[in-house]
Every structure is written in C-alpha cells, then in structure tokens.
Structure 1
C-alpha cells in the first residue's frame, strides 16, 4: 500500500510492520469483520421471523400446524449446531441442483447419485462454473445465513412461545370483551406485550449467535477465523514476502477482544431496550422505575 513497500526484504521495525499489515490478504482479513457484521445483521431478523412463525404455529388451534411448530422447535434444538450447520447448506444446495437438473436436462440418462458423488449436468450447477467469483461467495454466504436462521429460529420460537404464554390471560379476555376478534387481540394486545417477556431470552440468544459466527469457517466462508489461522501460521521466505513465526496467538487474541467488545456493546443496548420496554409495565422492572421516579 505504501510506496516504500516495494522491496520488503529491505524493511525492518515499524516500516516492515506497516507494510505487512496492509497487504492484500490483510485487507481481506479486515473485510471479513464486515462479513461477520453482515451475517449478524441479516441472520438476526431472519431467525426472529422463523421463530415468530414457529411460535404462532405452536399456538395454533389446528393440530397439524401446531405439530409442525412444536416439532420444528424441538427437533432443531435437539440436533448439535455443527451437524445442522453442515447439513442445511449441503441438503439445500443439492436439492436446488436436483430440481434444476430435471428442468434443464430432461434427456439426462445417467444416475445423479453415483456412489458418494452427486452429479448433475453443467447447466444445473449452482452457481454456474462460468459465474464470477463474487456470485460463488454470495451463494455460499446465503446458504450459511439460512442455516443460521433455521437453527436460531428454533430457539427464538421457544422463547417467543413462552413470552406469548406469559401475557396475562385476563388482558386477552378483556380485549375479547370489548369486541376484538381473536386475531385483533393477538396483534394489538399480545404481540406488543410479549416482547417484554421475550427480551431476556432473545438477548441471550443474540449473544450465542454472536459467539457462533466462527462456524462460518466450517461452511467454507472466508471469515475472521479463517484469515486469523491463515495469516497467523508460520510463514517462511519461500512462500511469502513477509516471513514470520507462529503468530496465531496474537491474531486470535485480537478476535477475542473483538468478540468481547461486541458482546459488551450488545449487553448495554439490550439493557437500555429492556428499561424502555419496562416503562409503565406491571413488572418488577416497571415497579422499580416508578419508585425511582421523582415525586
């Protein structure tokens, strides 16, 4: 990046370090922090949407829908996260390619399953081999987001279901006595109030999601863990212009500081949100606010 970085072999001290920390791979490493933040920004609302759907289904008066809602929450929560993270992208990828294969290559006569191999025609591959690199990266990232959303959506469904059950039944009966339909009382009375009961569980779930982002590494996404291991490992002059010893301790220490900072900020934001939602509510937090208010 700097003009004096032309010949790294002549550098030493801080000039060597400044050139080393601004190489192309390090720029990719810095960009991978953005990848983690994008994952959180997309996955959190997606997981909340899955969770809300699962919680509503679990409360349904229709038995099949209720079984699906409860089954989704119980099944996904009972499977190890790593196994599910590896299963969903593979299953979804092969499922989409299977459908595209039958649509685009109807004259294909060979078996798709050939031993342990999954073989489809070139036109059915996702993404196509001729697609630019960014398409492959976005596709892989999208599968990762979906896997995260399904897993954490199951936990969110359990939290939201409990929050819905915690809303006093008397309030729902009052809404119905005023002439509200079941749907109106659900959206106007239960949903606005359930967030107060759900927030503690959702805040814990958010912290777990933050700590689970290194699993992107297992899904083939070049995240901060991938680059920390790649850059921190021992490098000799034969393979790089900036040889160094095993520096993984320092790189992973940097990741530790990053995650501690992120979880600390998250905890403060959830605390402020909880305080705001508790205002005027008949809860311990709301009562504490009323007692602390000036007379």
Structure 2
C-alpha cells in the first residue's frame, strides 16, 4: 500500500508491522467486518418480516395457512441450524437456476436431474461464468442473507406468536364490542400491544444472530473468522511477511469486536424496552408506574 513496502525483506520493527497490516489481504480482513455488520442490519428486518408473516399465518382461521405457518416454525426449530445453513443455500440456488432454465432454455430436452448432478443450460447459471467477481460475491452474500432470514425468521415467528397470545384477550374483546373489525383489532390493538411482550425474546434472537455470523464461512462468504484464521496461521519464508502462529492475536480482535457489538446492543435494547414498557400493563410498566408514584 505504501511505497516503502515494495521490499518487505528490507523492513523491520514498526515499519514492517505497518506494511504487514496494510497488505491487500488485511484490507479484505478489515472489509469483512463491514460485511458482518451489513449482514446483521439487512437480515434482522427481513427475518422479522418472515417471523411476522409466520406468526400471522399460525393464527389464521384458514386451516391450510395455519398449518403452513406452524409447519414453518416447527420444522426449522426442530432441526439443527447448521443443517439449514447447508441446505437452504443449495435449495435456493438450484431453485433460482431451475426457474431461469425454464424461461431461457424452453427447448432443452435433457433432464435437469442426472444422477447426483443438477444440470441446467449455461444461460441459466447463477451467476454467469462471464460475470465479474463482485457479482459472484454479491450473489453469495444474498443467499447468505436469505438463509439467515429463513432460519431466524422461524424463531422470530415463535416469539411473535407467543407475544400475540400474551396480549390480554379482554382488550381484544372490548375493541370488538366497540364495533372494530378483526383487521382493525389486529392493527390497532393486538400488534401495537404485542411488541412489549415480544421484545425480550427478539432481543435474545438479535444476540444469537450476532453470534451466528461466523457461520458465514459455511455459505462460501469470506468472513472475519475466515480471514483471522488465514492471516494468523504460520507463514514460512516463501511469503512476503513470514511470521509464526499469530491466530490467538487475530481471534482476540474478533473477541473484542463481538463483545463491543453485543455490549452496545444490550444498552440500546434496554432503552427500547424501557420506552415500549411505559404505560403498558406489564411487569415492567407496573414497576415504572410505582417508581413515578
């Protein structure tokens, strides 16, 4: 990165360290922290949408929709997460390619399933072999977001469903007695009230989501754990910057990063809980009323 870093063999001390920490791989290591943050910021609302839809489906009076909602929640909660992290990206990738195959290659006569191989025409591949590298990385990141969203959406669905059940039924019945329709009751009474009950469970899911981001390497995304292991491993003299096993130092950086992220999250979630609990018929709300009295 710097002009004096052209010949690492002639460097020593602080100059060597600064040049070492500014290599191309280290820049990708620094960028991977941003990848993790972007993943969390995008996945959280998308998973919340999945969860909200699953909870509403589980409460539906329409039997097929109710079965679908409960099946979605139960199936993912009953299977180890790592299985879905391995299955969902493959299923999504093949599903997208199959749809493109049907649209772009309607004259294809060979079967798509050929033994253990999944074969589609070249035009249906995602991404195309001629696509730039950034497109390959963006596609892999998108599959990662969808995978995290599907998995954590199921857990969010269970939390939101329980929160909806916790809203006092008398309030819903009173709203209906005043002439509100079912949609109005849900929109004006049920949904605003249930967030107070859902927030503790959703806060835990947020923390779990943060701690689950190292699973990105399973989805083919070069995350911070991948780069820490790669850069910290012993480098012999064939490398420009030879060094011993420094993985412990790199993983200490990751430890500080995750501790800092969870600490900030706890403070923000605590303030949000206090704000939502004000004036609510919950234990937190009752404690606040007694404190103000």
TM-score when scaled to structure 1? 0.96
Q: What residue in structure 2 maps to residue 111 of structure 1?
A: 111
Paired position in structure 2 for 1:100: 100
Is the deviation greater in 85-94 or in 100-109?
100-109
User: Within 5 Å, which residues of 2 pair with 1:32-111?
Assistant: 32-111=32-111
Paired with 1:174 and 1:45, the residues of 2 have a C-alpha distance of 32
- Asked if residue 278 in structure 1 is aligned to residue 269 in structure 2, the reply is no
> Shift of the alpha carbon at 1:28?
0.5
**TM-align CA RMSD:** 1.1
- CA deviation digits over 1:13-69, x for unaligned, max 9? 111111100111100000000000000011000000000000000000111111011
Q: What is the correspondence of 1:9-48 to structure 2 with a 5 Å cutoff?
A: 9-48=9-48
For structure 2, the 5+ residue unaligned runs are: none
**In the TM superposition, what is the alpha-carbon distance from 1:223 to its structure 2 partner?**
0.8
Q: Which 10-residue stretch deviates more, 259-268 or 2-11?
A: 2-11
How far did 1:101 drift? 1.9
Shift of 1:292: 2.1
Give the deviation of 1:115 after TM superposition.
2.9
Give CA deviations for 1:174-204 in whole Å, capped at 9, x if unaligned.
1111111010010000100100000000000
Cα distance in 1 for partners of 2:257, 2:133 equals 28
Aligned match of 2:230: 230
Match of 1:250 in 2: 249
Q: Distance in 1 between matches of 2:53 and 2:102?
A: 32
1:287 aligns with 2:286: yes
Q: Normalised by the size of structure 2, how large is the TM-score?
A: 0.97
Is 1:206 aligned to 2:213, yes or no? Answer: no
Q: What corresponds to 1:148 in structure 2?
A: 148
Separation in 2, partners of 1:45, 1:279: 24
Q: How many residues were matched structurally?
A: 293
Q: Following TM superposition, by how much is the alpha carbon of 1:76 offset from its aligned partner in structure 2, in angstroms? A: 0.8
